[in-house]
Amino acid sequence: NADYTKNAVINQTTNATTGNFLSGVNGSNSHAFYFSGTTSPNLWHSGNFAPGPSIPLNTLAQATGVFTVTNSTGLVYVNGIAGSAGTNVNSFNDASIQLGAYSGGYNFTGYISEAFIFNTALSNSNRQALELNQQQYYTLP
């Protein structure tokens, strides 16, 4: 298990049942940043636990998911606004990374302008600096 941060600038065009935009799987261990038939991005860490604020369809937005091992918590931000924090104690091992899918399926319907994965939980100031850069570059709210 390790801390991580996932970040993507995305535009979901259709509510797919499971629209994964930044995910991976390693045997029974998995991680996902995805939409589950909704307009709210979710963080999955061998179990769903952290929903983010809603993003209207056909709207370019940034989504950032931060997971911290020490307190087993995750938090999703949309355009810098935090969603509900969640707790998940499931074990997780490194997995392959898939952009726009999960385990060869569960495809994201829309556009992914850029994506980042950090092997650390970004501090609030580092996360905000990344988000500010993207907000300015992509003219996001």
The more confident residue out of 46 and 73 is: 73
φ, ψ dihedrals at 38, nearest 5°: -130, -175
Query: What pLDDT score was predicted for residue 92?
Result: 60
| Residues in CB range of 30: below 8 A, 6 or more apart | 23, 24, 44, 46, 92, 95, 102, 103
Q: How many CA atoms lie within 13 A of 53 on its CB side?
A: 11
Average of per-residue pLDDT across 100-120? 90
Query: What pLDDT score was predicted for residue 89?
Result: 63
Name the least confident of 15-19, 53-57, 107-111: 15-19
pLDDT at 113 > cutoff 80: yes
pTM for this predicted structure: 0.91
Q: Is the dihedral of CA 87, 90, 94, 98 positive or negative?
A: negative
Domains of the chain: 4-138 (2.60.120.200)
pLDDT at 28 > cutoff 90: no
